[in-house]
Amino acid sequence: MAKQSHELATTLTASREADPHEAIVDREQKETLQEKIGNLPSLEKEVVLLRLGQGLSYQQIADVMDLSVSHVGVLLHQALGRLRLAMNPSK
Amino acid sequence: MSSNNNAPINDNNDNPIEGWYLTAYALGELDQESQDKVEAWLAKHPEGLREIEAIRQTASKVQQELAISAQSIQLDPTRTERVRESIAIASQNADARKDLEEIKRSGHKKVRQRRFLMAMTAGLAAGLAGTAFWLSTPNSSEEFSLIQIEPLNARALETTATEWTEENSARAQSGLALTPKSPSSLPEILARDYEESKTLSAGVDDYLVKDSKPQESFGKKADSLQDNVGRLSRSVAAADAAQGLPSFQTPAGPGFGLPGGGGGLGGAMGGRGLGAGGPSQALSGGGSAATVRNEDRFRRETGTDKTELEAGLDLKQDSLGIFPEELKQNVPSLNKSSKANERVSGDRFDSIPETPFVSVHKEPLSTFSIDVDTASYSKLRQYVLENNVVPPPSAIRIEEWLNYFDYQYPGPQGNDPFAAHMKLGDCPWNTKHKIVRVALQAKKVASQDRPKSNLVFLIDVSGSMGDANKLPLIKRTLNVLTAQLREQDKVAIVVYAGASGCVLPSTSGAHKDQILASINELQSGGSTNGGSGIELAYKIAKENFIPGGVNRVLLCTDGDFNVGVTGTDALVSMMQEQAKSNIFLTCLGYGIGNYNDSMMEQISDKGNGTYAMVDSESEARRVMTEQLSGTLMTVAKDVKIQIEFNPAKVHSYRLIGYENRRLAAADFNNDKKDAGEIGAGHRVTALYEVVPVGQADSIPGAIDELRFSQAGKPETKLTEVESASQEWLLLKIRSKQPESSESTKQEFVLGDVASTLDYEGQQSDFDWALSIAEFGLLMRRSELAPSLSWEKMLARAMDSTASDPYRQECITIMQRARSLSGQ
């Protein structure tokens, strides 16, 4: 079910793109990004999901994960650094 | 200049900050002190801005990835469980916790079927309201949480909500209710819910066509349904908690009782729109509608921005294909990419709440001060064309966008300071509504005819003004102006930084060399004490006062005063004091990134001033040449507009923009109440969205009193005058001559005739204003305009550019903004 809906979502995303080549690139990038998020170290991944997926504030994440706010900040900073590298491997 | 008083950046050669501060800064997570620190660092390390922009873009992409497309990201199972439980605990929801335990004991983990939760904001929805979650349980073979969020057209779905509620009510009464006592029934029922939801959704377009009135039936049933709903929503919450989803039991609240809020997304929405609300908003679901109405409160309580939560709500990503096309077309646009921008820049903006519709019976008078400022538009251009981001909604003042452009409104006859032109037309984003355009055109004065001028430039030369788009641009602005000066004009230049000083005493326009030399010697350095500079500038202006002439201080700054009198309030009262001396003020804002927009607007507002943003040399040229008369010469001050709507024609109305310019009705006739000034040749355009009598049900969202006042009260009796009249409204304008303290009043009536005066190009003027307003509403993500359309807006805009280069430039901005918004 979930897999199926994911595929559908991807197809829909792709169908909105004007250029099929772009669509493929786009999809590849998306998959990379998704994979990359999935491959983050577990603490970083959680922070990313909570901050950018769930919209919690640093403070709320710190409370939920029992970390200090600065630790949350560092984790997210590192995670975004990794993801950025993944998105722009050349840079 | 961005430093605080304790740590002037110029005294420290380097003040390293920790790397993660940049990310936190980009995400708007720093407290004021740390933010100041970062900004101080950035002032010395401008390359950091690029870094922050890169972080912001990455975050935005990740956010979109997480929110929009389906995702299956594996979390460490033990950690996942822990985080989920933590969220439940953080909710401080005793019931949810209790239920969680109970459900755990009874083996909820057998739940395999993903649930489909739809939240509908019955009747009270403000435009979008829908959420769907699919999720599997932690121990299922496909171990992931899949969260998918779908916004739906609220008006269409409220019907579904009603039906659904009835169904569940029946179910509840027949003993199938989802109470915490029977958790074992959850799986089947949740599975069934999912199937039902699909069916119901598929039927939504029928309701779109029928235009039924679900709100009413809804309201009636609300009371009797409450108990069941309460029980149901509690168990839904329990299920949510058990499955790692937050529970939502505070329907009247913002819909985010919990930090984990269902993907934080407007969301969660008390499972299928069921939150036991009070009768007046029963079943509002605590979803988007509540979020909208409680946005400010929500911000206060959670420190989270609503826009944060809106990101990723995208019906167009309807991966299951269950929502009809019409619905997707009707989804109010959400500015996904701008979401991350909301907090990234160091620019400070006051938040601007959107004005709701007001019933004419409740408030027949609408009163506001005119505003000829244009800064918000220049700001938009800078954001979009130079920085490739959309501005945060709080930086968008639609009235300033409207007033940025030239319109061909005919000027006044005789000695009147201005003429008024009204026009009635259809509302593009709500076919049942009308738009009333009110336009003022001030007397035009050719620049050679303007009176003698006594100008004092007050220039911020503090450290942060060194950027290319600040002091160097100010110099170019002044060079342009100097070229325009005549022998009888006088110019002085005062600079301020740590200390303030006069670098050019009041000098005749005959000595252009001397003026230019002083301008070109200006250098930046030091921290900012705007306060004492303002005093000195006004002192020089007073000493050189020209009776009957133009006496004006022109403040050039990025607005960030940080030494001396720094509080906005203190500066504002200082300006108010100075304004009594008949010396006017022009605020010219420079720079982006550390720019105190709200202070600039307030001091120009209080200081008999106008406020423009200079973002480029061409804009400097525009302000200082084409619009010089208007920039310098005030033809009327304290200009107030009051409109009286005719209740026989108008059910309710709302003023688009001018949120910060609203006045109380009684202020209109109070000459002591300060209002905006209008310069020679200036134009003011204001748009009202008007709901004609009989079209009340087309108002998105709701006006609270409507439901009861219509059902409960007898129709208010109209007077003979009102009902006999074919007039829509009466426009009253009060203004004072520049040096007078008593106002005069002018009155104009808008009848069924479309316009008070025909002139060539009036249709394109009207269409252009409509397009700008729609553009603004799109960018502000208005909740009150259900069918905003980038496409139609752009088509109309392109048809009405009338070869005006500024309008043509705006088309580019619109197109760029559209793609930046992911539309």
Q: Is the dihedral of CA B149, B150, B155, B156 positive or negative?
A: negative
3-state helix, strand, coil in chain B (%, to 5): 45, 15, 40
Element of type H or E holding B36: helix B32-44
Inter-chain CB proximity B73 and A10 less than 8 Å: no
- Structural contact between residues B700 and B785, judged by C-beta atoms closer than 8 angstroms: yes
The CB density around residue B612, as the number of other CB atoms within 10 Å, is 26
- Amino acid, single-letter form, for residue B312: G
**Residue B268 burial class via C-beta count within 10 angstroms: exposed 0-12, middle 13-18, buried 19 and up:** buried
pTM of the model: 0.48
Please report the pLDDT score of residue B797 as a whole number: 94
Q: Which residues of A touch B265 (CB under 8 A)?
A: 55
Please report the pLDDT score of residue B675 as a whole number: 84
The beta-strand segments (E) located in B631-740 are 634-645, 650-656, 676-679, 683-692, 729-736
Q: Is the dihedral of CA B71, B76, B78, B83 positive or negative?
A: negative
Q: Which residues of A touch B76 (CB under 8 A)?
A: 42
Inter-chain CB proximity A54 and B261 less than 8 Å: yes
CA distance B460 to B494: 9
Do A31 and A47 have their domain in common? no
How many angstroms separate the CA of residue B85 from the nearest CA in chain A?
A: 9
Please report the pLDDT score of residue B86 as a whole number: 58
Please calculate the CA angle B139-B141-B144 and round it to the nearest 5 degrees: 70
CA distance B706 to B710: 6
Find where tokens 């079927």 sit. B113
Element of type H or E holding B610: strand B609-614
Do A35 and A61 have their domain in common? no
Inter-chain CB proximity B260 and A54 less than 8 Å: yes
**Closest residue in B to A36 (Cα–Cα):** B73
| Domain extent listing, chain B | 9-65, 77-338, 358-371+387-417+636-820, 447-632
User: CATH says B447-632 is which class?
Assistant: alpha beta
How many angstroms separate the CA of residue A24 from the nearest CA in chain B?
A: 15
Please report the pLDDT score of residue B792 as a whole number: 93
Inter-chain CB proximity B263 and A51 less than 8 Å: no
Please report the pLDDT score of residue A62 as a whole number: 85
**Cβ density class B65-96: b for 16+ within 10 Å, e for less:** bbbbbbbbbebeeeebebbbbbbbbbbebebb
Q: Which residues of A touch B86 (CB under 8 A)?
A: 63-66
CA distance B189 to B178: 8
Domain of A56, CATH number, reads 1.10.10
Q: Which residues of A touch B75 (CB under 8 A)?
A: 42, 45-46, 49
CA distance B803 to B347: 33
Q: Which residues of A touch B55 (CB under 8 A)?
A: 80, 84
Do A18 and A51 have their domain in common? no
Q: Which candidate, B467, B355, B344, B418, places its Cα nearest to that of B30? A: B344
CA distance B396 to B416: 32
Residues whose CB falls within 8 Å of the CB of residue B10, separated by 6 or more in sequence, listed in order: B3, B463, B525, B526, B527
Do A56 and A72 have their domain in common? yes
Please report the pLDDT score of residue B155 as a whole number: 37
Please report the pLDDT score of residue A31 as a whole number: 57
Q: Which residues of B touch A5 (CB under 8 A)?
A: 70, 134, 146, 148, 319-320
Q: Which residues of A touch B261 (CB under 8 A)?
A: 54-55
Inter-chain CB proximity A63 and B259 less than 8 Å: yes
Query: Mutation test of the interface with chain B: which of A52, A69, A84, choosing the one with the most B Cβ atoms within 10 A?
Result: A52
Do A32 and A47 have their domain in common? no
How many angstroms separate the CA of residue B129 from the nearest CA in chain A?
A: 18
Residues whose CB falls within 8 Å of the CB of residue B263, separated by 6 or more in sequence, listed in order: A53, A54, A55, B67, B133, B147, B149, B312
Inter-chain CB proximity A30 and B27 less than 8 Å: no
Element of type H or E holding B743: strand B743-750
Do you know the residue count of chain B?
823
How many angstroms separate the CA of residue B777 from the nearest CA in chain A?
A: 24
If chain B, 823 residues long, is cut into consecutive pieces of 10 residues, what is the mean pLDDT of each piece?
A: 36 62 85 83 81 84 68 59 58 44 44 30 31 32 33 36 40 35 39 42 36 36 38 39 36 33 32 32 32 36 36 35 38 34 51 82 91 85 85 88 90 84 90 91 79 88 78 84 85 80 88 88 70 82 89 82 57 76 84 65 76 80 76 83 92 90 89 84 91 80 51 50 73 87 86 61 91 93 86 93 88 92 78
Do A34 and A46 have their domain in common? no
Please report the pLDDT score of residue B623 as a whole number: 80
Query: Mutation test of the interface with chain A: which of B66, B145, B310, choosing the one with the most A Cβ atoms within 10 A?
Result: B66
CA distance B552 to B546: 10
Do A34 and A9 have their domain in common? yes
- Structural contact between residues B254 and B285, judged by C-beta atoms closer than 8 angstroms: no
Do A52 and A66 have their domain in common? yes
> What is the bridge-based pairing of β-strands B453-460 and B550-557?
parallel
Q: Which candidate, B43, B25, B26, places its Cα nearest to that of B34? A: B25
* B310 three-class SS: helix
- Structural contact between residues B378 and B615, judged by C-beta atoms closer than 8 angstroms: yes
* B159 three-class SS: helix
CA distance B533 to B561: 11
Inter-chain CB proximity A13 and B144 less than 8 Å: no
- Structural contact between residues B477 and B627, judged by C-beta atoms closer than 8 angstroms: no
- Using CB atoms, pick whichever of A34, A54, A74 lies closest to residue B263: A54
Q: Which candidate, B304, B358, B368, B298, places its Cα nearest to that of B701? A: B358
Please calculate the CA angle B464-B466-B469 and round it to the nearest 5 degrees: 100
Radius of gyration of chain A (CA): 16
Please report the pLDDT score of residue B688 as a whole number: 95
**Residue B466 burial class via C-beta count within 10 angstroms: exposed 0-12, middle 13-18, buried 19 and up:** middle
CA distance B317 to B212: 27
- Structural contact between residues B250 and B275, judged by C-beta atoms closer than 8 angstroms: yes
The beta-strand segments (E) located in B335-382 are 358-359, 365-369
Query: Mutation test of the interface with chain B: which of A33, A37, A78, A80, choosing the one with the most B Cβ atoms within 10 A?
Result: A80
CA distance B687 to B654: 9
Q: Which residues of A touch B303 (CB under 8 A)?
A: 57, 59
Report DSSP state, residue A25.
Answer: H
Q: Which candidate, B28, B13, B320, places its Cα nearest to that of A76? A: B28
Do A70 and A31 have their domain in common? no
Inter-chain CB proximity A42 and B75 less than 8 Å: yes
Query: Mutation test of the interface with chain B: which of A37, A49, A51, A54, choosing the one with the most B Cβ atoms within 10 A?
Result: A54
Domain of A91 in residue numbering reads as 42-91
**Angle between the N-to-C axes of helices B805-820 and B762-780, in degrees from 0 to 180, rounded to the nearest 10:** 30
CA distance B93 to B315: 31
How many angstroms separate the CA of residue A52 from the nearest CA in chain B?
A: 5
- Using CB atoms, pick whichever of A37, A42, A74 lies closest to residue B79: A42
Question: How many angstroms separate the Cα of B597 from the Cα of each of A41, B175, B286, B356, B589?
Answer: 41, 59, 33, 24, 8
- Using CB atoms, pick whichever of A8, A58, A76 lies closest to residue B320: A8
Residues whose CB falls within 8 Å of the CB of residue B444, separated by 6 or more in sequence, listed in order: B411, B629, B680, B681
Do A64 and A84 have their domain in common? yes
This model of the complex carries an ipTM of 0.72
Inter-chain CB proximity A9 and B265 less than 8 Å: no
Written as six digits, the tokens of B474 are 């100010």
Do you know the residue count of chain A?
91
- Using CB atoms, pick whichever of B20, B74, B146 lies closest to residue A77: B20
Number of domains in chain A: 2
- Using CB atoms, pick whichever of A2, A33, A64 lies closest to residue B86: A64
Q: Which candidate, B795, B794, B799, places its Cα nearest to that of B814? A: B794
Element of type H or E holding B574: helix B568-579
Inter-chain CB proximity A65 and B87 less than 8 Å: no
Please report the pLDDT score of residue B499 as a whole number: 65
- Using CB atoms, pick whichever of B69, B136, B308 lies closest to residue A9: B69
- Structural contact between residues B110 and B141, judged by C-beta atoms closer than 8 angstroms: no
Do A34 and A49 have their domain in common? no
**Residue B720 burial class via C-beta count within 10 angstroms: exposed 0-12, middle 13-18, buried 19 and up:** exposed
Inter-chain CB proximity B83 and A58 less than 8 Å: no
Q: Is the dihedral of CA B696, B697, B698, B704 positive or negative?
A: positive
* B16 three-class SS: coil
Written as six digits, the tokens of B306 are 């609503």
- Using CB atoms, pick whichever of A3, A63, A80 lies closest to residue B55: A80
**Closest residue in A to B316 (Cα–Cα):** A12
Does the pLDDT at position A58 exceed 80? Answer: yes
Do A56 and A31 have their domain in common? no
CA distance B127 to B111: 33
**Closest residue in A to B61 (Cα–Cα):** A33
Residues whose CB falls within 8 Å of the CB of residue B820, separated by 6 or more in sequence, listed in order: B337, B338, B384, B388, B389, B390
